[in-house]
Chains A and B, each alone.
Chain A
Amino acid sequence: DGGITQSPKYLFRKEGQNVTLSCEQNLNHDAMYWYRQDPGQGLRLIYYSQIVNDFQKGDIAEGYSVSREKKESFPLTVTSAQKNPTAFYLCASKGRVYTEAFFGQGTRLTVV
């Protein structure tokens, strides 16, 4: 079945560690997105990519990095520079412009 797969579902990070969240899609979508969701808040855009080997900063990119080496994959690294990383992270992909975005199941990241 076509869809978006995020892993892991839960992730724990120690202070000073970098961690990488995986996002894979088999929908043949060109555009992929990373959003962050905090309790009681909407979704805020971290990074997005419209084509392979190209990506753009969103509204809250500081402390995060991404790569887009393959159309299917858009991993997000939460670096030690992100001082408050505890949140729910959602990856999405989209086909043609002005169609809806489809979301993965999310990764819940907790700092321990």
Chain B
Amino acid sequence: ELKVEQNPLFLSMQEGKNYTIYCNYSTTSDRLYWYRQDPGKSLESLFVLLSNGAVKQEGRLMASLDTKARLSTLHITAAVHDLSATYFCAVGGGADGLTFGKGTHLIIQP
């Protein structure tokens, strides 16, 4: 059974600081996805990582994938309040869908 673990599950940080969210998964997969969810809203796709060593960046967010370690990271650079949200990683993406982590609830304070 595929398991996806994120840590931390809750993170409070100050604006301007850097931090990393980790996503570990239990079985071999070379497809990993990051989503953002604002309170009461749906999920928005952030990154699709499709191979070992893949790195993608969008603004202050950068995601990477190490399939040998079964690890993906989401790095936040110089955080701003607008990045406050819950971030999910998900693995799989075959016809039977994605398996999600529990999410990292991120609060960025002035």
Contact = CB atoms under 8 A, between A and B. Distances in A.
B98 A106 contact: no
Nearest to B92: A98
Contacts, number: 62
A73 B28 CA distance: 32
Nearest to B101: A42
Interface in B1-48: 4, 31, 33, 40-45, 48
A103 B102 contact: no
A43 B45 contact: no
Interface size class of A (residues with CB under 8 A): 20 to 34
A82 B42 CA distance: 23
A48 B97 contact: yes
A97 B108 CA distance: 35
Interface of B: 4, 31, 33, 40-45, 48, 50, 88, 90, 93-103, 105
Given A40-B105, A48-B96, A101-B98, 17 more contacts: A31-B97, A35-B100, A41-B103, A42-B102, A43-B43, A43-B90, A43-B98, A90-B42, A94-B93, A97-B94, A98-B93, A99-B48, A101-B45, A102-B45, A103-B43, A105-B41, A106-B42
